[in-house]
Amino acid sequence: MMLIFVLIIGIVSTSFQKDNLRKEPVITSKTITQVAVVVKDIEKARQAWAQVLGVKVPEVSIAESHFSRPTLYRGDPSDAKAKLAFFSMDNLQIELIEPLGGNSTWQEYLDSHGEGIHHIAFAVRGIDGMEELFDLRGCPTVQRGGWDGGAYSYIDASKDLGCMLELLENY
């Protein structure tokens, strides 16, 4: 009897805590560092953007799984790769992304929407805790990974906020 009572108290209090956590602020940083456009052909897109902005055509780099935080796509290991190019504006970067195979949110977006603005990226601290808080709000982490010196997580906040967010943490 006592055990059942303790169990019930436990369940109610956990659910109460979760409910409170669900209403907590998640992103305390107010700095948006990137807006990213998924494209089919980064060669063509980086030339066009450079011409429109009157700037040098940026280098292309490759995003791929890194041992520091291996790429996961919907919880499973993924060999997702992409070509990236960055344009530095006064106050943030415009990022171009061309998916190069492997299961990824980039390819998924391209398949279902065509080219377009994939996400808004926030500079954050404590990326793992944030994933949990978003999850409690019904916003799952669709893809996560890292590089030498940093970590990223894509949060599908479409149900809640109407779009995809990226959390970016530089260690």
CA distance 143 to 147: 14
Q: Are 167 and 153 within 8 A, CB to CB?
A: yes
Q: Are 47 and 127 within 8 A, CB to CB?
A: no
Of residues 49 and 154, the one with the C-beta less far from a copy of itself: 49
Cβ 83 to a copy of itself, closest distance in Å? 13
Segment near a copy of itself (CB under 8 A); pick from 8-16, 66-74, 78-86, 152-160: 152-160
- Interacting residues with a copy of itself between 71 and 110 (CB under 8 A): 88-92, 94, 96
Q: Is 25 in the site for a copy of itself (CB under 8 A)?
A: yes
Closest CA to 145 of 62, 60, 78: 78
Residue ranges in contact with a copy of itself by CB under 8 A: 23-28, 30-32, 35, 37-40, 45, 48-49, 51-54, 88-92, 94, 96, 113-120, 137, 157-158, 160-164
